Structure 1
Amino acid sequence: MRSSEDADGFDGEASNTSMMSGAGSPYQPTTEPVRARRVLGGVRCDLAYLRSSFGVLKVLEVVLSLIAFICIETIMLCLPCGGVYFFEFVSCCAFVVTGVLLLTFSLNLQAKVPHVNWSLTDLVNTAATTFFFLLASIVLVALNHQSGREITAAVFGFLATAVYSFNTLLAFRRWRGGEAQPGPGQSSEYTRARTTSHGEMEARPELH
């Protein structure tokens, strides 16, 4: 018959063994959920951006570019066709590139590529699209203005040009403001690093 001390010792050894086996087991129940949260944590829908002026302008640009592209695609006969083809190319490129940027900013994907200057990228895109949309609309009006579809496509081209030009102005101001002053987070981190380094130098006088 086993004594109470032996029973207590057996229970203690069993509990210790179960704890050690649980700690050393590679199949931890919290490993995969934590990893999943880290992977999916950087991708989220940024509703604040979609409500901002930049987000609203991006949505308008995508919609106007798509409508202009659909209008130009409905033209079956053209003479000459150079203006139609050029407007088709510009509206399609504007829709694709601006749509990619809208998706990138609205899902906060630019945080995963921090070495890219996204403010400058947005400025270059809006400025170039403004120029080419204006040029394509003028060429379309000058060469192809016989049908109502051509005139409708040109009208939406000029509307897209106006929206892109206003976005270019805002993007230029944002880029200039970002280049002029560093962010508060960057400044505080730099100050903290300088303070820590100075404290280490005082604690180790042999480094002077």
Structure 2
Amino acid sequence: MATTDTVYNTTTEQQPKTRKWLNVPSENLETIRFGIKVIEVLLSFVAFVMEEVVSNCSHCGPLYFFEFVSCTAFLFTMLLLILLATTLHKKVGIDIWPTLDFVYTTAMAFLFLIASVVFAADNGQTGLEKGTVAFGFMATIAFFADFGFFLKMRGIPCQMRNNQPADHTPRPESEKLNSNGTE
């Protein structure tokens, strides 16, 4: 009887589920890209905070544009990082995470570059503004590094879908359209 107890106990007892809250590396985020994304979040946050401390501006348009880009980069990169580094991305209902990540990272790299260049060209040249611009360029470099590493590891996700062989299996709708009403 002791042998049957050991057989049944090992198969019928509930095993404790070990849940990891951090799921890196995963199918959507490699360990190196996770580190780069953390750096993007930190640099965007510092650039945003430093921009917020600037009290005087002669031409405020570049400052406000930099503020918008740095705040957007901070918030959305943090959201993307949380979604991709945990299992939450499975509950959102989006199936194209690599494409979304690629497009977002590319857009933020170019927006941060434009905002940093514009703010560097037109600011009051105070130490705080120069530091803000420096963090803007560092964040730009981080986003471009993420973009480059993504290309190196995965290629362009949008092109991958277009290179798949076409499915030429006739469908009922296409058969009706091709019949020209001569059924």
TM-score by length of 2: 0.70
Q: What is aligned with 1:150?
A: 129
Q: What pairs up with 1:1-208 in 2 under 5 angstroms? A: 44-48=21-25, 52-113=31-92, 115-176=94-155, 180=160
In structure 1, C-alpha distance between the alignment counterparts of 2:103 and 2:61, rounded to whole Å: 26
State the distance in 2 between where 1:113 and 1:175 align: 23
Contact 1:120–1:175, Cα closer than 8 Å, also in 2: no
**SS of residue paired to 2:55:** coil
The alpha-carbon deviation at position 174 of structure 1 amounts to 4.2
Say how many residue pairs are matched: 146
Q: Secondary structure at the match of 1:44?
A: coil
Please list every run of 5 or more consecutive structure 2 residues that lacks an aligned counterpart in the other structure.
1-13, 162-183
How far does residue 115 in structure 1 lie from its aligned partner after superposition? 4.5
Deviation of the 1:126 alpha carbon: 0.7
Q: 1:113 and 1:66, CA in 2 relative to 1: closer, same or farther beyond 3 A?
A: same
Q: Secondary structure at the match of 2:59?
A: coil
Secondary structure at 2:95 match in 1: coil
User: Contact (CA 8 Å) 2:24, 2:34: kept in 1 or not?
Assistant: no
Offset at residue 109 of structure 1 (A): 1.8
Q: Percent identity?
A: 35
Aligned partners of 2:44 and 2:70 also within 8 Å: yes
Partner Cα distance (1:158, 1:81) in 2? 19
User: Secondary structure of the residue that 2:36 maps to in structure 1?
Assistant: helix
- The Cα offsets for residues 73-113 of structure 1, whole Å up to 9 and x where unpaired, read as 00011001111100000000000110001101121222334
Given that residues 119 and 171 in structure 1 are in contact (C-alpha distance below 8 angstroms), is that contact kept between their aligned partners in structure 2? no
* Structure 1, unaligned runs of 5 or more: 1-32, 182-208
Deviations 1:121-165, CA, capped at 9 Å, x for gaps = 110111000111000011111110421111001000001111100
Q: CA RMSD in A?
A: 2.8
Question: Normalized against structure 1, the TM-score is what?
Answer: 0.62
Tell me the distance in 2 between the aligned counterparts of 1:115 and 1:57: 23
- Structure having the higher helix fraction is 1
SS in 1 for 2:155: helix
Structure with bigger gyration radius: 1
CA distances 1:143-196 after superposition (whole Å, capped 9, x unpaired): 104211110010000011111001112223444376659xxxxxxxxxxxxxxx
Deviations 1:28-47 (A, max 9, x none): xxxxx99xx6xx96x73214
